[in-house]
């Protein structure tokens, strides 16, 4: 009977507060919705925090990658520099030989050896000469600095190379400066 008294007291409280029938159910639904909203807000804050952490992690990763790339570039040329120093040593020895010797053949032989070593080094690193004389001018590889009338050559045929052109890993790094034939106009 104690339980019955409790129920009666609740009913009395509802009547005293003028709570409509069914309003209590609506209030409990609102409470459930409020709790659900709070949970969703909590999840939204957690997701927002995760996004901020991910963004910070990505920024740190990008900075580390840029630093590593800069370090790689900085030291990637070390091998090339060592090879160039070896060629520079050869030039220094040749310079010393000129002072100590009057043997022109030996000097020419030494310079020729240095030239061959240097060209071998450039080829090994991916440098190629651009073929010019006898070719038809290609504006991607050649730069015409002179044009001469000629009946012996085809129109736009390169007849002289003024300065060699070079490619590095199949990319033109310096076009060849050339003299080009032009058919005489009549």
Higher per-residue pLDDT: 162 or 10:
162
Beta strands 171-174 and 176-182 are: unpaired
Rounded Cα distance, 147 and 156, in Å: 8
pTM for this one?
0.56
Q: Tell me, what's the pLDDT at 183? A: 81
**How sure is the predictor about 8, in pLDDT bands with cuts at 50, 70 and 90?**
low
Residue 127 forms beta bridges with which residues? Answer: 168
């Amino acid at each position: 009977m104690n339980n019955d008294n409790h129920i009666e007291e609740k009913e009395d409280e509802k009547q005293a507060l003028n709570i409509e029938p069914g309003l209590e159910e609506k209030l409990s639904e609102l409470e459930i919705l409020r709790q659900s909203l709070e949970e969703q807000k909590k999840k939204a804050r957690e997701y927002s925090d995760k996004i901020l952490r991910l963004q910070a992690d990505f920024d740190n990763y990008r900075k580390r990658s840029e630093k590593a790339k800069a370090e790689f570039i900085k030291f990637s040329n070390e091998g090339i520099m060592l090879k160039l120093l070896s060629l520079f040593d050869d030039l220094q020895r040749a310079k010393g030989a000129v002072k100590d010797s009057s043997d022109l053949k030996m000097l020419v032989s030494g310079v020729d050896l240095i030239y061959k070593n240097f060209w071998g080094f450039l080829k090994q690193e991916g440098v190629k000469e651009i073929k010019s004389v006898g070719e038809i001018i290609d504006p991607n590889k050649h730069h015409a600095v002179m044009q001469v009338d000629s009946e012996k050559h085809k129109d736009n045929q390169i007849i002289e190379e003024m300065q060699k052109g070079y490619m590095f890993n199949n990319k033109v790094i310096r076009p060849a400066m050339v003299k080009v034939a032009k058919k005489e106009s009549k």
